[in-house]
């Protein structure tokens, strides 16, 4: 007989699917507990509130992206490959979401529904800043004497990637992300 999945894990899995597919605001506690196959009390035994569950969902999405990026990074030998690994990890993340109906970046989608000052928005901002810092570090390795132009280029690549993710979410597939990767290659070719 298989091992029973703990209620917390089942709740997080259900929340991940429902928050991503339907949105944070449109997903109620009853829907989450029914989808997870647990009693409502199980939710409150594991999370202090829906807000706490949303924050756990965002932290889990961040950890998932870190794992995907880590897999890509392990295969990247050069600064150029490390930079492109960020783009590839976004494509990988998109592929994982297809079963729920790809809607773009789950972090940004959730952040758009959270009030200003919510701790969840800080988690999302942290990931977006981390991506830009990764770009900056890779570009500085490629062109150490690039100065302020490197900072501007890192910001530009960040905008290209996040804009591509938003458009990919509207399109329902990763074509825009792959186009953004090609743009990144052309930008690095100019260094």
| Structural domain contains residue 24 | no
**pLDDT tens digits for range 153-180:** 999 999 999 999 999 999 999 999 999 9
> Residue 107 sits in which domain range?
56-189
Q: Say how many domains are in the chain.
A: 1
| Structural domain contains residue 31 | no
| Structural domain contains residue 39 | no
Show Cβ contacts of residue 104 under 8 Å, excluding neighbours closer than 6 positions: 165, 166, 168, 169, 170
Q: In this predicted structure, what is the pLDDT of residue 120?
A: 95
| Structural domain contains residue 41 | no
Taking residues 38-48, report their average pLDDT: 95
**pLDDT tens digits for range 56-71:** 999 999 999 999 999 9
Are 174 and 93 in contact by the 8 Å Cβ rule? The answer is no
| Structural domain contains residue 137 | yes
Are 23 and 113 in contact by the 8 Å Cβ rule? The answer is yes
| Structural domain contains residue 6 | no
């Amino acid at each position: 007989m298989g091992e029973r999945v703990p209620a917390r894990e089942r709740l997080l899995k259900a929340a991940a699917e429902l928050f991503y597919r339907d949105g944070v605001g449109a997903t109620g506690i009853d829907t989450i507990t029914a989808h997870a196959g647990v009693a409502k009390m199980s939710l409150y035994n594991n999370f202090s509130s829906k807000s706490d569950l949303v924050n756990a969902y965002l932290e889990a999405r961040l950890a998932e992206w870190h794992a995907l990026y880590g897999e890509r990074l392990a295969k990247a030998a050069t600064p150029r490959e490390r930079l492109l690994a960020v783009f590839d990890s976004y494509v990988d993340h998109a592929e994982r979401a297809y079963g729920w109906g790809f809607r773009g970046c789950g972090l940004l989608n959730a952040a758009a529904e959270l009030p200003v000052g919510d701790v969840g928005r800080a988690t999302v901002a942290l990931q977006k800043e981390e991506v830009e810092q990764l770009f900056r570090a890779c570009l500085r390795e490629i062109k150490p004497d690039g100065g302020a132009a490197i900072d501007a280029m890192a910001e530009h690549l960040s905008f290209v990637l996040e804009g591509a993710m938003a458009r990919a979410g509207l399109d329902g597939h990763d074509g825009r992300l792959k186009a953004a990767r090609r743009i990144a290659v052309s930008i690095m070719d100019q260094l």
